[in-house]
Structure 1
Amino acid sequence: MGEKDVNGVSGITAFLSTVPYDQWTSVNPSGWRPSARYKHAAAVVQDKLYVVGGSRNGRYLSDVQVFDFSTLKWSTFSQKMDSQDPKSDINISDQVFPASAGHSLIKWEDKLLVIAGHSKESSNTVRVWSIDVETHSWSAIDAHGKVPIARGGQSVSLVGSQLVMFGGEDNRRKLLNDLHILDLKTMTWEVVETKKAAPAPRFDHTAAVYAGNYLLIFGGSSHSTCFNDLHLLDLQTMEWSQPETQGAYVTPRGGHAGTTLNENWFIVGGGDNRSGATETIVLNTSKFVWSVATSVTERDPLASEGLTLCSATVDGENLIITFGGYNGRYNNEIFVMKPKPRDSVRPRLLQSAAAAAAAASVTAAYAINIASDEKNIDVKIVDDSDIKGVQFEGDTNRVAAEIDLISAEKKIVESRLAEVRDVNSRLKGNLEEMNISRNELAKELQSVQGQLEAESARCFKLEVLDLTHFLLTQIAAAQKKLESLSSLELQLEVLQQQKLHVERNMAADQRQKSGGVWQWMSGTTQNSEQ
């Protein structure tokens, strides 16, 4: 990135003279700087950048900071509450502007309008606040009608005297894709029913208004993914569509910031939950062609989420201006870029090729007719049905110059066509290589699956063998135990027989020794005979 810190500049003119085209340049203001933050809101009013609220370390901020491009210095907006504020039921401490984050900031007449956002002050519906940059007073606007549910991370776009609000995330973290309009003249909300498929619910996306009749929605986040889709809402028919885009590939992102400058929509920062988006991308809203203006490194403050982006004309120079953001650390730096003037292009017709060719022929004939009128050249259309024959009479030198110009443009187109063909050829080659690699991987996968099946079968056989061996071992052990039990039973029977024999012998011996009653009686008889 062509970053460049500028010190000791005298005035905005000297500073802008050092800023290159299509490269981000950091502004190094002298003196005090506001605290770093993200999910704030910003707008430019008369060469001054107003920054309102935001979040830091989980804490909502209530300050309003002002950067003056004429002096390149920061100052704090000394705010005071309007004593005639009709919203007397709102709990506001010390008359400090309500702290909030994820809100939107719109310049309307001589005021700044703060819409929606997450706040410490609980509310079930969207609130609108007004900040008067002249009197430094603020007040809550009493809106009527079908007031939307409270939310943060929505997009709010100014279309005439109406604010168009899309999507966001409510206080219960429910994602939204509803559409509401606030009429700033009557301060009345209206819910809008749209046709066809609306964008998926999302928050932290960006929105832009094209030609005053179309609302563009790009990117954003859900709770699990980020988007890179582009949606278009016809504000006359309220019908959604997804225009076909060309040009550079745009990575998914949420938390990015966008601003329009003429027909170009610049988008900076954001991320995809893994890394920050490093490219500053540009959508040509008349042709729906994406391009990359410049890139930064991954850890650059511009590859942050929750930063703000504004466009302004300062000292005659068109600028886009960023402030703040979070990329692992909170930032409070200002960067500016001078977009290189781009050639205006005709709107890309969303028609068939034949219709587009016919329209191009009509446009060319019309341009020739206008040029001829200016030089009093007679133009004669030979066949006005297909606008093929055109005879010129008069200034042949101008005609020759026009032919040379067309030839040069043809060479440029042919060169670009050759580049596109070369890119397509390379992409085709890469696709063929990827197909070959895919086929090789498929074969390798089949081989691995076969090996896995064979290994599984072998493991199964081994498990069966192990189980069989285990069972045989257990059976052998049981048989041994049974044999031992039989031997023990025999020994027990022998011991029982021996015991019985011993008991019999002991009984016989006992009888012999005692003689029993007969022996006693026999002894008594013998004694009496004597």
Structure 2
Amino acid sequence: MGDKDVNGSSTINELLSMVSYDQWVLVNPSGVRPSGRYKHAAEVVEDKLYVIGGSRNGRYLADVQVFDIRSLEWSNISANMDTKSTKSDSFVSDQAFPASAGHSLVKWENKLVVVAGHSKESSDTVRVWLLDLETNSWSAVDTSGKVPKARGGQSVTLVGSRLIMFGGEDNSRRLLNDLNILNLKTMTWDLAETKKAAPAPRFDHTAAMLGNQYLLTFGGSSYSTCFNDLHILDLQTMEWSQLESQGAYVTPRGGHASTIIDEKWYIVGGGDNRSGAIETVVLNTSKFVWSVATSVMERHPLASEGLALCSTIMDGEKILMAFGGYNGKYSNELFVMKPKPINSLQPRLLQSPAAAAVSASVTAAYAVNTAAEKSIEIKHPDESNMRGVQFEKTLNIEIKIDALNAEKKILVSRIEDARDEKLRLKYNLEEMNNSYDELVKELQSVRGQLAAESARCTKLEAQIAPAKKRLESLSSLEQELEALQREKSQVEEEIAVAQRQRSGGIWQWLTGAENNLEE
């Protein structure tokens, strides 16, 4: 199936060199492994995988586990409380970060941002925490604006310097489908007003950004069902639409994990409360076509709910990393996969007009990000003084700078991708030339074999001709033999009749002689 256990690897490069593309590999790490868990959060920062919190056996967790991707070693960091930036209300506790599950984790600058999540420490609104990776210290953030209701199982996506949060489940177990935006520079929340029908309320779904203009959501759970629908939000028009995808059928699921590499959105795990999803599915976001990258056995740790999935680049090699989850038991295993590079030579599939239009827009959005950034500005209709105007101007400048930086990164990435594509095409061309030469040689060999077989057939036909003639003569001999056998049978019958006649005459002669003597 789609997973493999590789022993004896001491570095990630050794591990990746032993496996092929689109195959999950179980990592055998050094160090003290974290306890099994689900509904945790994970993020990669500078060759390290950070895992925070989660749930195990009904208990929430607050630990910070770190996996060194290069050395394949687990470690635990003791994050302290940053007393200079904590809140002054009941949210502050002796514990730096409250044990939580169902929270979201995002890397921003040199910090990890933890948003929302369920915890035993009650709060009416969403809480935000920062983990400073330079000092390993926690700080609670006092956000302002239209702070959303507390929740867990939401999706949180980074766009420039803003977080977009969608859906989730509040403390009263009410399902949500609202859209909230947090400005990380001002730590101000805003409730976004969207157009057209939003996705149904849900939790444990996933979301991803396409080209800094489109928010894509997939799947999730309600209390009665699981979803496999695909929705997209245009951040420029703030309009929701449901996409009609093509390709492989993707089963409804919640509690899955996802990440985007290039134009591919990878979905791993999840389930429908009856069984776990065994397929690792991929959505080509330029065509909105589903495919199955690989699959695992049932009850496999990757066929779990509440696992975490991250992506990173190690020495030019793009990799996926999946950790944890629950499928009847809590997993603490880590799996790695090398995704197959994009094949630009694949034929385009026919799409519906709506999907084709969105697809074209998504492709353009990967190159142009400024319009998308403008679409998520936080509006302040009540600020009419000069301070408000100056704030808006500063915000617009920051947005443009973020957009230009994002565009620069995309252009650099496209150049690198073009170089990689050139090398790949060159390699494929060499492979095709080698294959052509081998096929020509094989064709010549087959032609020689056919000529030899043809000569052999001619020789056999020449040898068979006399045999046919002999068989024809044998047939006439058989007919003559049958005629002789019939003549023989007739002669034998005539002899037998004659013998019987001669035998009857002698008895008659003897009988007549006896009668004469008596007289």
TM-score by length of 1: 0.65
Aligned mates of 1:213, 1:348 — CA distance in 2: 24
Match of 1:151 in 2: 151
Match of 2:167 in 1: 167
Q: Evaluate the alpha carbon distance shift between residue 346 and residue 162 of structure 1 in structure 2; reply closer, same or farther with a 3 A threshold.
A: farther
Aligned mates of 1:152, 1:346 — CA distance in 2: 41
Q: Evaluate the alpha carbon distance shift between residue 140 and residue 20 of structure 1 in structure 2; reply closer, same or farther with a 3 A threshold.
A: same
Aligned mates of 1:339, 1:132 — CA distance in 2: 31
For 1:436-455, what per-residue CA distance to the aligned partner results, in whole angstroms no more than 9, with x for missing partners? Answer: xxxxxxxxxxxxxxxxxxxx
Matched, 1:314 2:304: no
Aligned mates of 1:238, 1:111 — CA distance in 2: 29
The answer to whether the 8 A contact 2:270-2:303 is kept is: yes
Aligned mates of 2:349, 2:126 — CA distance in 1: 38
Q: Cα offset for 1:212? A: 1.1
The answer to whether the 8 A contact 1:288-1:348 is kept is: no
Aligned mates of 2:208, 2:348 — CA distance in 1: 17
Q: Evaluate the alpha carbon distance shift between residue 352 and residue 97 of structure 1 in structure 2; reply closer, same or farther with a 3 A threshold.
A: closer
How is 1:419-438 mapped onto 2 (pairs within 5 angstroms)? none
Aligned mates of 2:124, 2:260 — CA distance in 1: 32
Unaligned runs of 5+ in 2: 361-428, 433-519
Q: Evaluate the alpha carbon distance shift between residue 137 and residue 352 of structure 1 in structure 2; reply closer, same or farther with a 3 A threshold.
A: closer
Q: Evaluate the alpha carbon distance shift between residue 246 and residue 2 of structure 1 in structure 2; reply closer, same or farther with a 3 A threshold.
A: closer
For 1:374-424, what per-residue CA distance to the aligned partner results, in whole angstroms no more than 9, with x for missing partners? Answer: xxxxxxxxxxxxxxxxxxxxxxxxxxxxxxx9xx9xxxxxxxxxxxxxxxx
Q: Evaluate the alpha carbon distance shift between residue 243 and residue 2 of structure 1 in structure 2; reply closer, same or farther with a 3 A threshold.
A: closer
Match of 2:326 in 1: 326
The answer to whether the 8 A contact 1:286-1:346 is kept is: no
Q: Which amino acid aligns with 1:197?
A: A
For 1:460-516, what per-residue CA distance to the aligned partner results, in whole angstroms no more than 9, with x for missing partners? Answer: xxxxxxxxxxxxxxxxxxxxxxxxxxxxxxxxxxxxxxxxxxxxxxxxxxxxxxxxx
Aligned mates of 1:91, 1:199 — CA distance in 2: 32
How is 1:206-355 mapped onto 2 (pairs within 5 angstroms)? 206-344=206-344
For 1:289-346, what per-residue CA distance to the aligned partner results, in whole angstroms no more than 9, with x for missing partners? Answer: 0000001111100000000000101232100110000000000000010001121379
Aligned mates of 1:299, 1:315 — CA distance in 2: 33
Q: Cα offset for 1:351? A: 7.2
The answer to whether the 8 A contact 2:2-2:295 is kept is: no
Matched, 1:124 2:127: no
Q: Evaluate the alpha carbon distance shift between residue 327 and residue 349 of structure 1 in structure 2; reply closer, same or farther with a 3 A threshold.
A: same
Aligned mates of 2:7, 2:30 — CA distance in 1: 8
Aligned mates of 2:299, 2:107 — CA distance in 1: 32
Q: Cα offset for 1:88? A: 2.4
Q: Evaluate the alpha carbon distance shift between residue 84 and residue 288 of structure 1 in structure 2; reply closer, same or farther with a 3 A threshold.
A: same
For 1:36-68, what per-residue CA distance to the aligned partner results, in whole angstroms no more than 9, with x for missing partners? Answer: 000000000011000000000111001000000
Aligned mates of 1:38, 1:330 — CA distance in 2: 7
3-state DSSP class of the match of 1:16? Answer: helix
3-state DSSP class of the match of 1:325? Answer: coil
Matched, 1:84 2:84: yes
The answer to whether the 8 A contact 1:37-1:55 is kept is: yes
Aligned mates of 1:75, 1:20 — CA distance in 2: 28
Q: Cα offset for 1:138? A: 0.9
Q: Cα offset for 1:3? A: 2.6
Q: Which amino acid aligns with 1:238?
A: M
Matched, 1:188 2:188: yes
Q: Cα offset for 1:93? A: 4.1
For 1:182-214, what per-residue CA distance to the aligned partner results, in whole angstroms no more than 9, with x for missing partners? Answer: 011111100011111100000000001111100
Unaligned runs of 5+ in 1: 360-404, 409-530
Q: Which amino acid aligns with 1:227?
A: F
Relative contact order (C-alpha < 8 Å, sep 6+): which is higher?
Answer: 2
The answer to whether the 8 A contact 2:27-2:336 is kept is: yes
Aligned mates of 1:286, 1:212 — CA distance in 2: 14
For 1:259-302, what per-residue CA distance to the aligned partner results, in whole angstroms no more than 9, with x for missing partners? Answer: 00000000000001111000000001111000000011111000
Match of 1:464 in 2: none
Q: Which amino acid aligns with 2:334?
A: I
3-state DSSP class of the match of 1:252? Answer: coil
Aligned mates of 1:348, 1:188 — CA distance in 2: 43
Q: Which amino acid aligns with 1:259?
A: T
3-state DSSP class of the match of 1:195? Answer: coil
Q: Evaluate the alpha carbon distance shift between residue 165 and residue 12 of structure 1 in structure 2; reply closer, same or farther with a 3 A threshold.
A: same
3-state DSSP class of the match of 2:186? Answer: coil
The answer to whether the 8 A contact 2:203-2:222 is kept is: yes
Match of 1:498 in 2: none
Aligned mates of 1:324, 1:228 — CA distance in 2: 22
The answer to whether the 8 A contact 2:31-2:75 is kept is: no
How is 1:395-434 mapped onto 2 (pairs within 5 angstroms)? none
The answer to whether the 8 A contact 1:214-1:235 is kept is: yes
Aligned mates of 1:28, 1:215 — CA distance in 2: 36
3-state DSSP class of the match of 2:5? Answer: coil
Match of 1:138 in 2: 138
Q: Evaluate the alpha carbon distance shift between residue 237 and residue 325 of structure 1 in structure 2; reply closer, same or farther with a 3 A threshold.
A: same
Aligned mates of 2:85, 2:238 — CA distance in 1: 35
3-state DSSP class of the match of 1:281? Answer: strand
Aligned mates of 1:74, 1:16 — CA distance in 2: 18
Q: Cα offset for 1:216? A: 0.5
The answer to whether the 8 A contact 1:286-1:347 is kept is: no
Q: Which amino acid aligns with 1:229?
A: D
Aligned mates of 1:210, 1:173 — CA distance in 2: 30
Q: Which amino acid aligns with 2:269?
A: G
How is 1:489-528 mapped onto 2 (pairs within 5 angstroms)? none
Match of 1:7 in 2: 7
Match of 1:52 in 2: 52
How is 1:385-396 mapped onto 2 (pairs within 5 angstroms)? none
Q: Cα offset for 1:5? A: 2.5
The answer to whether the 8 A contact 2:96-2:138 is kept is: no
The answer to whether the 8 A contact 2:91-2:123 is kept is: no
Aligned mates of 1:115, 1:156 — CA distance in 2: 8
Q: Cα offset for 1:85? A: 1.9
Aligned mates of 2:96, 2:184 — CA distance in 1: 24
RMSD: 2.1
Aligned mates of 1:169, 1:281 — CA distance in 2: 26
The answer to whether the 8 A contact 2:281-2:293 is kept is: yes
Larger radius of gyration: 1
3-state DSSP class of the match of 1:13? Answer: helix
Q: Cα offset for 1:32? A: 1.4
Q: Cα offset for 1:169? A: 0.2
3-state DSSP class of the match of 1:84? Answer: helix
Match of 1:112 in 2: 112
Q: Evaluate the alpha carbon distance shift between residue 91 and residue 156 of structure 1 in structure 2; reply closer, same or farther with a 3 A threshold.
A: closer
Aligned mates of 2:323, 2:347 — CA distance in 1: 33
3-state DSSP class of the match of 1:181? Answer: strand
The answer to whether the 8 A contact 1:12-1:315 is kept is: no
Aligned mates of 1:328, 1:349 — CA distance in 2: 41
